[in-house]
Amino acid sequence: MPVVALIEDDPLVRVPLAQGLEDAGYRVLAAASGDQGLACLEEHKIDVAVIDVFLPGRVDGVGLVREARRRNPGLKVLLTSGRPLPIDLTGIAQFLPKPFRLGDLIGKIRLAIASDDLVGDRDTLMRAQQVLEEFGKVAMFYAALRADEWRHHGDQEECRAWTQISRAVEQLQVAQRPPGFAPG
């Protein structure tokens, strides 16, 4: 059973999300502050951490991500906030703006867990997830088009990078499909 650390200070958000994630088959370890979240991440093997950006205590959500990644560079993190993520923090982790539906959170968690099985390095996977979020169903087409564009311009390195992104987008799309889905 995958383990999700849910670090959210608002009990009106934390409690129902924890219940919903447990109902979806996850083991949830909940924390109400950055300090509690750091202790949780240190004491348990976590598959995905869902962290609110603004947390009480000496460690806020961004500090928590940085400290957790220093200790565990491969930790998968989803940041949440009711405010836009400052531009200087884009790329630190996947971002899910509040309010969001439980299904959206579960989808992001599934993608994060599935990324263990995906081809490509962390940067390629992050770029693939960004392309998928921006372009949806046509993301793979967009990435393949970019690869062809760079091939046409003679930049083999960019062509190779976009080809890898295209493959990662395809794998992410497959990971998003519900169980038993048969393309038709």
Domain 3-117 sits in CATH at: 3.40.50.2300
Run of H or E residues at 111: helix 102-114
pLDDT digits (tens, 9 = 90+) for 60-77: 888 898 888 887 877 889
Amino acid residing at 154: G
Instruction: Give whole-number Cα distances, 109 to 37, 50, 78, 104, 112, in Å.
Output: 18, 9, 8, 9, 5
Q: Is the dihedral of CA 146, 148, 149, 155 positive or negative?
A: positive
Q: What is the pTM of this model?
A: 0.65
Q: What is the pLDDT of residues 133-184, one digit of tens each?
A: 888 888 888 988 998 898 888 888 888 888 888 888 877 776 666 545 455 5
Task: Tell me the domain boundaries of the chain.
Answer: 3-117, 122-176
